[in-house]
Chains A and B, each alone.
Chain A
């Protein structure tokens, strides 16, 4: 068999069949989305990071995601800690307000963040280690019609193209004094917008605090009004934010879509001719340059992956978790 050199960083993971990686990602996602057990989710993330290392992917690329997860985590843990509906174990009580912080709420908030993190970190296993031709060949092996697969591939191809075209058009328009970056509300309107935005935030905060307080202190009032207040505050804030970029959207970006769409239509027309001229759609069994057959690497990976996966799930679901497993071992 004549080997085909694969582009990019060579690693064990890069050499896996796209179907193997797709299977691993789908299994990973299904588990991460279904479970709320933070131990299981944390172990899934560990597996994902181990795969990152084996794939020679730069872990520094996780930094923005980590920062985002941290911020979301703080919010989710704090919010759920105080607002959890089924709290049994209070970790502490806030002085003056007398609000209880529930252990169960904290765990719930933590599991949400871990869930998101797990789902996102496994995606590069597929996207960063699988050249598009391999991915398309893999999808075709799953009996998806090639026209569908090709369309998906072209969509990915178009994304940077759209970006480049939009940049060219924006630059061209700057030459006629149409500088999108400078488009904003007038000074008076901007002042009003800022006040409205602050008012919205304040309203949302008041609504949330009153709602939490009513639950904690078990006030004999309906919480609906407080929730509505919070929601209205959030909506006002969002509308004020949109208003800030409204001039840029309406006067700035929207007019640029006309040449962009026309450029893309022309390109797609040429692309249509190009692929037809190269026999696209011929009624023969299509072959593929890339060889995506399963090799010993795929079987090895699947064996280890499934073993680890099943082991983790068993320990967590049936064995009382890792803590219990360690206690058992210690015994």
Chain B
């Protein structure tokens, strides 16, 4: 076949990193046609990044390793030429935009690839203007990369690759660090590149809810093996198998799978066998058909709390004094900056699980940093267990409030997990036997006993996050704050961490969860605070908050797909205030399944 017909051909590709015994890729066969838009899914460590890096020759040319099989990119083997030759036709975008931007201004950043090619100056300027226009950053042409938002930075990286008009664009988890706006901006840009310019797009991602709207084909990897390669509808038909591979199945597809199982011989009402409904629009039509045909009978009095949902669980003592009280909190980073927080007022009671949602820059993390004393000089008061936190030392605050930051690596620096946990306890001045007891306690709680002596940075991201939680929780703070616990996490990692949070809550900890993962907030919080532009826009029980779609939309948020699906079927008698797949399933069929997202056998019920 000519080079232009099938630009990517991979035959029996195997690969092992230098010094590693296990194979990262195991006999991968894949062909990607010209102009196709494919997504690569898989748990962390499944081989997504490894596969992506083979497409532009970084592996094995730059990073070494042992490779077998054949890779052909646009008719040539990337390992038989220099990376700069492959890079002429294949663009690469990585996960962290900060690590890929190194120029002081936007134009220089975009120009870099063209300069390396020796493109004449006048032509280079035309190409830069074109690239910035495609990614909709023309108005920032004279700006500086550090001043851009996360989504804008990632689009700038795309433009930096686009300037030399590659045939193929490869993106490795480009949206994992972005908020919903940034994510949709990036995926929309890729769609335009694909549709308007015929560019072949290969994107590795965990954002399955979004990617099903764009990808023509899904490739699923598990431990280096390719297990599925088909359209999204066909791939997600195998929801149970994908869940076993720790691939995040869109909740709509999960529901579809369960409904077909319940319907048995009437499953055809939902569509052909082997083809799942993965988008809200498809599922809505299918369920409407099923309701009309009498296959399902919606019940507004559905059982709440299924799916590990804590939304309706009352706090241990509704009349308890608040453990956190924020009064008229106002803050700006510099005198000339706009307000980062404007007259924030809220409180959290003992034993509650509260979610704070909002786009990047809304003020979520700023509130928490004020609360734990990292940021000072704010107006208003913050009280922790009735004490003014401004008068407390950082040490005293650390004993009462534990903040698990988005990047756990900033909190780890000892040589073993055990020493890491002991670090904070020694700072508290606890006796040795108590330190040993608490280490045992939290290692068991987080199912990390086998990692006791392991160097923290040899652990996966998910396990490093759990270690950070263990290290903080060992200090027995009564309040735990999780800042974006699912960033960069695969399906298993995100649910393990959140289940851990609920387990700690059952032991008495008050939990505050900051996230823009709507499904997570729906499942794991009792109350939700919605922030936008430095203010609190809404504070309500989670179930009620997700019904206020206009307020959510004003801050560019939308309820989880399962909630949107239920709301779209309200006219058919489907309750619009469900929060989880399990609840909607029960409302439609009466079937009770406690938890479809079980990922951690050792967690049990509590």
Contacts and interface: CB of A to CB of B under 8 A. Distances in A.
The size bracket of the interface on B is: 35 or more
Contacts of A169: 410
Given A182-B393, A278-B161, A176 B104 contact: no
Contacts of B142: 5, 7
Interface string A166-203: 00110111111111001000000000000000000000
A175 B394 CA distance: 7
A131 interface: yes
B58 interface: yes
A142 interface: no
Contact of B112 (A175, A259, A278): A278
A274 interface: yes
Contacts of B118: 282, 284-287
Interface of B: 53, 56, 58, 62, 82-85, 87-88, 90-92, 94-96, 98-100, 102-105, 107-108, 111-122, 124-125, 128, 142, 144, 157, 160-161, 164, 369, 372-374, 393-395, 398-399, 402-403, 405, 407, 409-413, 423-424, 427-428, 457, 471-472, 475
Contact of A267 (B58, B99, B403): B99
A4 interface: yes
A2 B126 CA distance: 10
A279 B409 contact: no
A282 B116 contact: yes
Q: Which 9 A-B pairs have the closest CB atoms?
A: A177-B427, A270-B99, A277-B92, A279-B116, A278-B113, A289-B111, A284-B118, A172-B410, A176-B424
Contacts of A153: 102
The size bracket of the interface on A is: 35 or more
Given A4-B107, A176-B472, A259-B413, A289 B394 contact: no
A277 B91 contact: yes
Given A177-B398, A274-B99, A279-B87, A2 B410 contact: no
Interface of A: 1-2, 4-5, 7, 131-133, 153-154, 157, 168-169, 171-179, 182, 255-256, 258-259, 262-263, 266-267, 270-291
22 contacts: A4-B107, A4-B125, A7-B104, A131-B104, A173-B413, A174-B373, A175-B472, A176-B471, A176-B475, A182-B394, A255-B413, A259-B411, A267-B96, A270-B94, A274-B92, A274-B99, A276-B58, A276-B62, A284-B116, A287-B115, A289-B124, A290-B108
Contacts of B108: 131-133, 289-290
A263 B117 CA distance: 31
A265 to B, nearest CB: 10
A178 B397 CA distance: 12
Interface centre among A4, A131, A176, A270 (most CB of B within 10 A): A176
A159 B403 CA distance: 28
B207 to A, nearest CB: 20
B374 A256 contact: no
Contact of A277 (B83, B114, B128): B83
Contact of A282 (B90, B103, B117, B428): B117
Contacts of B58: 273, 276-277
A262 to B, nearest CB: 6
Contacts of A266: 99
Interface centre among B53, B99, B128, B373 (most CB of A within 10 A): B99
A187 B475 CA distance: 27
A2 B122 contact: yes
A258 B96 CA distance: 21
A169 B412 CA distance: 9
Contact of A271 (B99, B105, B113): B99
Contacts of B471: 176
Contacts of B122: 1-2
Given A273-B58, A287-B120, A287-B124, A179 B115 contact: no
Nearest to A150: B102
B138 to A, nearest CB: 14
A177 B399 contact: yes
Interface centre among B96, B114, B394, B410 (most CB of A within 10 A): B410
B103 to A, nearest CB: 7
Nearest to B88: A279
A167 B107 CA distance: 29
Given A273-B62, A287-B121, A175 B403 contact: yes
A153 B98 CA distance: 16
A176 B103 CA distance: 35
Contacts of A270: 94-96, 99-100
Contact of A168 (B121, B125, B407): B407
Contacts of A280: 84, 112, 116
Contacts of B96: 267, 270
Contacts of A256: 413
